[in-house]
Amino acid sequence: MKETVIVLDFGGQYNQLIARRVRECGVYCEILPYKVSLERIKEIDPKGIIFTGGPNSVYDESSPHYTPDIFSIGVPILGICYGCQLMAYSLGGTVVSAADNSVSEYGKTETGYSDDCVIFSGLPKSGISWMSHRDYISKVPDGFKVTATTAHCPVAAMADAEKKLYGVQFHPEVNHTEHGKEMLKSFLYDVCGCAGNWKMDSFIEDAVEQIKAQVRDRGVVLGLSGGVDSSVAAALLSKAIGKQLTCVFVDQGLMRKNEGDYVEETFTRLFDMNFIRINCQDEFLSKLKGVTDPEEKRGIIGEEFYNVFWNRIRDEYGSGFFAQGTIYPDRIESGKGDAAKIKTHHNQVEIPKDIKFEGIIEPLKDLFKDEVRAVGEKLGLPRELVWRQPFPGPGLGVRVIGEITAERVKTLQEADAILRDEMDKCGYAEKMSQFFAVLPGVRTVGVMGDARTYDELIAIRAVTTDDFMTADWAKIPYDILGKVSNRIINEVEHVNRVVYDITSKPPGTVEWE
């Protein structure tokens, strides 16, 4: 179907980033755990294989290893960090601990490159690479040449050009490595011989044809949340089958201000589909009455959503196909630990046993989030929907701290809408990865109109991050924060104080609950 490069995951923190970089070069890429069999790899018939980094030491018998036979199947291999050390160790080289010699390297490192190595061909002879290793290769295997060095690392890269085996101790996939993407592209095109046929335009054309062939004259039901993944899935399915698609949108009353109306208007105006909106705020609030524990709230919201959605499906649409907005990271099997399991994710829904669909359609299951956004733009979805920020599954239920009531939800919706309006006006929204308002359930004394008040406090949370594994609090200018605070206090009833959360992750989390 398409040329494929395999990223073999040995527990590296950058495994998905490696795959995304490969795809940015126009080459389709899949991540597989290191426990995948060599027979399975041969069945895929990849154009190349990339070994990821990892936190272990290769000479530790309990660390992830792979059969040395993989180096004899004739497929080009690039080892990164731990993957480079594993290549050296498996083929007879020597890997030692850097701790005894005080030469471990972390962060930006001046590195010298050999210009007779195809990976570095046409690049400067030295530059900054991103290092993160305790161990290092002290002796390369027979047939290999050292192709890069640093002041403390005798083998920053190595190559056996005849066998098309390459290793780099640094991380070319991170932006801190100068010309890292060019290095990966040289491996993909000059070593593996890739043609670069992974394009979003061709993806849409192929997906539409596949959906038509699978669905034929049957119907498809999709649970539409209004988030990026389900929205793009809905647009793609609509392009393929039109009115055969039914989107069911559950509005539980815990969305941002006017969001339910926005989702309905967008999809009924732009796409040819059946759109069903279930308004059930009263039912959700009734179930949540008196509940303050965050995990209990999450459980109730999830269970009620499940029941409301499937009861409607059961009554009217329990046939044909069921579609999900599953994307590739939702189903990646991790290479970490001995019991690697596929992640549980809200995009992968458990279907009640009494509802019998003919099959499941996951049109975005091979795409990363940035690729999903690209597809959404090409399908004509509004930019504000395609590039919207992450929103928790329980909605504002985890941003209203304590008991959830209609009045408290409305207060938070109004404050959050003001925050978003001001961030859009000043152009600061695009500088942040996520920002939102929180209603902590704290009352404070204030003075408004020469009278004492005792009202709610609003907290503002804003972060910048590349991966949401860690995050820094956003340095929003004081004058912008001041304007937001002034508007919230003046325009939102029962609020007399606004505070700004300056906690990074860790020790905090992005959400408050």
Catalytic residue annotation: 81, 171, 173
Q: Residue 345 is encoded by which pair of tokens?
A: 């994710």
Nearest to 367 by CA among 165, 199, 123: 199
E strands, 101-195, in order: 105-113, 126-133, 135-139, 145-150, 157-160, 165-168
Residue 42 CB coordination number (10 Å): 12
In DSSP notation, 295-343 reads: HHHHHHHHHHHHHHHHHHHHHHT-SSEEE----HHHHPBP-SSSS--BP
Please, what is the Cα angle at 287 between 290 and 326, to 5 degrees?
120
Cβ atoms of 509 and 461 closer than 8 Å: no
Residues 6+ apart with CB under 8 A from 78: 48, 49, 50, 51, 119, 166, 167, 168, 184, 187, 191
Residue 399 CB coordination number (10 Å): 26
Is residue 276 within a helix (H) or strand (E), and if so which, with residue range?
Answer: strand 274-279
First to last CA, the chain: 44
Nearest to 320 by CA among 356, 292, 291, 357: 357
Q: Residue 157 is encoded by which pair of tokens?
A: 């890269």
Cβ atoms of 141 and 166 closer than 8 Å: no
Length of the chain counted residue by residue:
513
What values do phi and psi take at 354, rounded to 5?
-85, -5
Residues 6+ apart with CB under 8 A from 385: 226, 228, 231, 266, 376
Q: Give the single-character DSSP code of 358.
A: S
Which residue matches tokens 């609509």?
238
Q: Give the integer Cα–Cα distance in Å for 363 and 372.
A: 10
